[in-house]
A and B are shown apart, each in its own frame.
Chain A
Amino acid sequence: AQKVTQAQTEISVVEKEDVTLDCVYETRDTTYYLFWYKQPPSGELVFLIRRNSFDEQNEISGRYSWNFQKSTSSFNFTITASQVVDSAVYFCALSATNYGGATNKLIFGTGTLLAVQP
């Protein structure tokens, strides 16, 4: 069965600290896709990154970086020098599969609420 676990329900940090949000997934497929979304207090989910299972290169985008490790089935997200505007709920998601192939549906984790204090 496919599953996404975000064990950290809430994290609180002080501005300028680095913070890592964990995501562990389960799937039997060799081809799959992983995503991170940000949900600020306004409510809209904002797409951050999409990664396919064949691309294990880590990615950096400004203060954001992602570490994909197939060996541990993890796709962790790090924010460097956090800012108050980073305060949001962050969701990790995995492509659902059907008959052995990735589909267009997503399975979401339960989210991690990040609070960045000034």
Chain B
Amino acid sequence: DVKVTQSSRYLVKRTGEKVFLECVQDMDHENMFWYRQDPGLGLRLIYFSYDVKMKEKGDIPEGYSVSREKKERFSLILESASTNQTSMYLCASSFERAGGTDTQYFGPGTRLTVL
């Protein structure tokens, strides 16, 4: 079974704090993704990584950065948290499939509140 874990289920931070969200997968997947989920907007891609130290911006990268130093771990960083970053954050991973789209497997999510 694929397992994607996220460091926290719930997190409360203050405006201006630096926030780290960690994601680990155990299936040797090449691709890893960070999404945020907001009511009425579905899932929106923040960043994804297709290899160690490689990253690509998604649809809403502003205010976020990422780090992938090891294949199994993908971190999302909020350099200076703001209240509009209060959201549910979901991590996912998948195999790289040339010319196709493999299934993404998701972690349990981190519900971040910024006060």
Can you list 20 A-B contacts with CB-CB less than 8 angstroms, sorted by A residue number? A9-B40, A31-B99, A31-B100, A35-B104, A43-B109, A45-B92, A95-B100, A95-B101, A104-B94, A104-B97, A104-B102, A105-B33, A105-B45, A105-B101, A106-B45, A106-B101, A108-B42, A108-B43, A109-B42, A111-B42
Count of residues in B whose CB is under 8 Å from the partner chain:
30
Chain A 68-116 interface residues, beta-carbon cutoff 8 Å to B = 91, 95, 101-106, 108-111
- With A105-B58, A108-B42 given, is the CB distance from A43 to B101 under 8 Å? no
Q: Residues of B contacting A32 with CB < 8 Å? A: 101
Count of residues in A whose CB is under 8 Å from the partner chain:
26
Instruction: Please name the residue on chain A nearest to B45 by beta carbon.
Output: A105
Q: Are A102 and B58 interface neighbours, CB within 8 A?
A: no
Q: How far is the CA of A95 from the CA of B107 in the complex (A)?
A: 20
Chain A 35-90 interface residues, beta-carbon cutoff 8 Å to B = 35, 37, 42-47, 50, 52
Q: Which A residues are within 8 Å of any B CB, using their own CB?
A: 9, 31-33, 35, 37, 42-47, 50, 52, 91, 95, 101-106, 108-111
Contacts A103-B101, A110-B40 aside, 18 further interface pairs with beta carbons under 8 A come to A9-B40, A31-B100, A43-B88, A44-B106, A44-B109, A45-B90, A46-B106, A47-B106, A91-B42, A101-B99, A102-B101, A104-B48, A104-B96, A104-B102, A105-B33, A105-B45, A106-B45, A108-B43
Minimum CB–CB distance from A35 to chain B (whole Å) comes to 7
Instruction: Please name the residue on chain A nearest to B30 by beta carbon.
Output: A104
Most A CB within 10 A of own CB, among B9, B102, B103, B107: B103
Q: How far is the CA of A111 from the CA of B90 in the complex (A)?
A: 15
Q: Are A44 and B108 interface neighbours, CB within 8 A?
A: yes
Minimum CB–CB distance from A38 to chain B (whole Å) comes to 11
Q: Residues of B contacting A102 with CB < 8 Å? A: 99-101
Instruction: Please name the residue on chain A nearest to B100 by beta carbon.
Output: A102
Q: Residues of B contacting A110 with CB < 8 Å? A: 40-42
Q: Residues of A contacting B101 with CB < 8 Å? A: 32-33, 95, 102-106
Q: How far is the CA of A50 from the CA of B103 in the complex (A)?
A: 7
Q: How far is the CA of A2 from the CA of B43 in the complex (A)?
A: 15
Minimum CB–CB distance from A106 to chain B (whole Å) comes to 6
